[in-house]
Structure 1
Amino acid sequence: MTGRESEERPLRRAVCPGSFDPITNGHIDIISRASRLYDVVHVTVMINKSKSGLFTVEERIALIEEVTSAYGNVRVEAFHGLLVDYCKQRDIPAIVKGLRAVSDFDYELQMAQMNNGLSGVETLFVPTSPTYSFLSSSLVKEVATWGGDVSHLVPPTVLEALVGKLRRP
């Protein structure tokens, strides 16, 4: 592609939303794969005021930025509100979601249909790697709380932060 052609082609953009409390290797697998499909991937920490997380939103953003920095095309920020509003405000036409199991599909299909109906935003479902098909942030926190080894489930930086949080009174 010549310089002129690349200037004329709009950037392909997508969002990978979640709570990321904390980010796991499963999340990173999906973000990594999305980063190869899209020019810019927005990783968005969706804020739910009715939930209190282990990590603050700022801590989650910092951890995500650190563990995704090698991709070069990932942008991380938080958002409070409807995901479709986030997409509209940033002209993002696609949502990328990882699916672990059929139970995820039932819920995510409803969300995808609602999001498309509200705004025309498409959802791309990416099956998780079998290595991470059981993995969730909640499960990681629970196992780590009881002293279980989660070092193979999260990046080293996240493990250090997780252990540090759980040691505090």
Structure 2
Amino acid sequence: MKRAVFPGSFDPITLGHVDIVKRALPLFDEIIIAIGVNADKKYLFSLEERLQFIETTFASEKSIKVKTYTGLTAVFCETEKAQFILRGLRNTTDFNYEQAIAQTNFEMTGIETVFLVSTPGVSNISSTIVRDVLRNKGNASSLVPKAVITSKK
């Protein structure tokens, strides 16, 4: 079974994340969307809310699982018997950042990272921008799945 982990904080999940996952579905038998938990980070949405947003967004996709984890992504992949890490790239800045992480993960565990380039319609979206829009009561409906918009925040 080809299993990939798509890690992130998903605070919140965006249409850019959804784009990457949907386009990756034909490549893998199973994709685990893995919400990383960092006790030092201040999140806009609780872990429970982020989990619910993702589960709701992908409710009809049986090959998608949603889990949470702490610690190193590569170690989580080993625990889940995932052979691949899935990452989305919006631009060259993302690539430069992700390349070193991918190489380190491979050196540590032999787990390959698969990069998908975002489609142009969502390449401008980042969780940071979305959080700013939401904190300032802006309309984020073109940036996030419906599950995020229908939440209380």
Q: TM-score range by the shorter chain?
A: over 0.9
* Aligned mates of 1:148, 1:79 — CA distance in 2: 31
Residue 139 of structure 2 corresponds to which residue in structure 1?
149
RMSD between aligned residues = 0.9
Q: How does 1:1-169 map to 2 (within 5 A)?
A: 11-161=1-151, 164-165=152-153
Report how far residue 147 of structure 1 moved: 2.6
Report how far residue 69 of structure 1 moved: 1.4
Report how far residue 157 of structure 1 moved: 1.6
Q: Hey, which bits of structure 1, 4+ residues long, moved more than 4 A?
A: none
Secondary structure of the 2:60 match is: helix
Unpaired segments of 5 or more residues in structure 2? none
Report how far residue 149 of structure 1 moved: 1.6
Report how far residue 144 of structure 1 moved: 2.1
Once the two structures are superposed, what CA deviation does each residue of 1:86-109 show, in whole Å capped at 9, x if it has no partner? 011111110010000100000100
Report how far residue 143 of structure 1 moved: 1.4
* Aligned mates of 2:61, 2:26 — CA distance in 1: 9
Report how far residue 145 of structure 1 moved: 2.0
Once the two structures are superposed, what CA deviation does each residue of 1:109-162 show, in whole Å capped at 9, x if it has no partner? 00000000000000001000101111111101101222322111111221121x
Q: Which has the larger radius of gyration?
A: 1
* Aligned mates of 1:13, 1:53 — CA distance in 2: 28
TM-score, length basis structure 2: 0.96
Output the amino acid matched with 2:85. Answer: I
* Aligned mates of 2:135, 2:45 — CA distance in 1: 14
Unpaired segments of 5 or more residues in structure 1? 1-10
Give yes or no for contact 1:35–1:71 (8 Å, CA) kept in 2.
no
Report how far residue 61 of structure 1 moved: 0.8
Secondary structure of the 1:21 match is: coil
* Aligned mates of 1:101, 1:126 — CA distance in 2: 11
Aligned residues: 153
TM-score, length basis structure 1: 0.88
* Aligned mates of 1:156, 1:63 — CA distance in 2: 9
More helix by share: 1
* Aligned mates of 1:106, 1:119 — CA distance in 2: 21
Secondary structure of the 1:157 match is: helix
Percent identity, aligned pairs only, is: 39
Residue 5 of structure 1 corresponds to which residue in structure 2?
none
